[in-house]
């Protein structure tokens, strides 16, 4: 079954903690990183951050249920951050 659930850091703490831990862990030499990240700043000064990873456990109760993780955050010139 395929679907696209929305997840925010406060609602899916275990999922975001897993991605954060994987991103901070050093990758083995020659291996692809477990979490990819891309950042850019637009002409208006807003910062856009994308992170993605495959095979993340949905939560602690269903660690065998893996999802593909995609996060987009926007930080405006005023410092306000929004997650989508």
Q: pTM value?
A: 0.80
Tokens standing for residue 42: 């637009």
Give residues with Cβ within 8 angstroms of 76, minimum separation 6.
Answer: 45, 46, 82
Q: Quick one: what percent of the chain has pLDDT higher than 90? A: 57
Query: Which sign, positive or negative, has the C-alpha torsion 8, 21, 79, 41?
Result: negative
Enumerate the domain spans of the chain.
39-84
Q: Residue 51 pLDDT more than 80? A: yes
Residue 1 is predicted with a pLDDT of 57
pLDDT (mean) for 52-67 = 89
What is d(CA 56, CA 63) in angstroms, rounded to the nearest whole number? 8
More confident residue, 2 or 49: 49
């Amino acid at each position: 079954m395929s679907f696209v659930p929305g997840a925010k850091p406060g609602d899916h703490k275990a999922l975001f903690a897993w991605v954060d831990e994987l991103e901070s862990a050093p990758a083995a030499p020659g291996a692809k990183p477990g979490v990819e990240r891309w950042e850019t700043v637009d002409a208006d000064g807003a910062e856009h951050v994308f992170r993605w990873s495959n095979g993340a456990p949905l939560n602690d109760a269903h660690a065998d249920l893996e999802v593909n993780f995609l996060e987009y955050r926007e930080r405006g010139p005023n410092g306000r951050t929004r997650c989508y």
